[in-house]
Amino acid sequence: MRFKIKTVPLSCIDSEDNTYRITTKTKLNDLINSINKVGLINPPLLIEKGSAFTIVCGFCRIEACRYLGWAALEAKILDSDTSRLQCAKIAIADNSLQRQLNLIEKSKALSMLSSFYKDSISLSKAASALDLPENPSLIEKIKNICRLPLSIQDCILSNTISLSMAVELSMLEQDAGILLANIFHEFKLSLNKQKEIITLIKEIAFRENISMMEVLRKCDFSDILNREDLDRTQKTQKIRAYLKQRRFPEITRAKREFENNVKELKLGKGIKLIPPADFEGQTYMLNLRFNTIKELQERAVKLNNIVKNPILEKIL
């Protein structure tokens, strides 16, 4: 890497050109304080582009200097014949070899490299040399994450959404992906619950021959989200119940009928009638709870009355 040191006016540096930007860092208070107290220790790396300069390394440093009101700064200027691939490698190395990159930063780096390496083997080797994931299937999953809408990327950065869920959302309609990401972020749902909700919505959309966004726009769903009398956990429970009811209407109907019949049975304290899972099957279970012989005798009398009740025959 050949470069020269030069004082460059900040007005000549194109901060809008994010070609080589890797970092997702937005909070610069510590960096601003450091530069303000001791100066710019490590000059940014630039390359000439027409009458301006493109940033290769040092986006945050330059932004901090702008904040401090600097008119110019000392920078390293790469030779004009430095290739775009070399600039990309320098930018990635400046980040990946100094700290642990987050998922979005890894995605940016791999996406940048993939524009130069068309086959997976070459890309894997280049990634490995820069301390990036080298597994081809993992690279394929990660490299497009940085192209997701910013709201979804924010959820990834806040650890609301994992890599597997980011990949899942990337395959959905964009509006549906954004709305689901916001719901997952607001309700702090576990990965299992996130997967459950997406699966239910997909199956409802397929079953009713509508888009996922149409499922999400349904009034019942919106009403749950907008209810101020419910906390986060209660809203989550209602959303899951609503989706299950809509996805499995027959099971929901059977469950409601079963619950109404059990109320009529008046099982009483310590007795619970348990239906087959999803009402698929004919095996029911009775759960008895008692602390003394007397309580057991009372349960036995109650059971004898329940067996004679026609409501039980209706349930079975």
Is 84 inside any structural domain? yes
Question: Distance between CA 303 and CA 256 in Å, rounded?
Answer: 23
Predicted TM-score of the model (pTM):
0.75
- Supply the pLDDT for residue 157: 92
- Supply the pLDDT for residue 61: 95
Listed as ranges, residues in the chain with pLDDT below 50 are: none
Question: Distance between CA 146 and CA 314 in Å, rounded?
Answer: 57
What is the rounded (10 degree) CA torsion for 21, 25, 29, 32?
-20
Q: What is the pLDDT of residues 31-73, one digit of tens each?
A: 999 999 999 999 999 999 888 999 999 999 999 999 999 999 9
Domain-ending residue, one of 194, 221, 247: 247
- Supply the pLDDT for residue 251: 73
Is 287 inside any structural domain? yes
Domain co-membership, 153 together with 181: yes
Domain co-membership, 184 together with 172: yes
Domain co-membership, 109 together with 91: no
Count of domains forming the chain: 4
Is 260 inside any structural domain? no
- Supply the pLDDT for residue 113: 94
Full domain range(s) for residue 58: 1-99
Query: CA quadruple 32, 33, 39, 41: dihedral positive or negative?
Result: negative
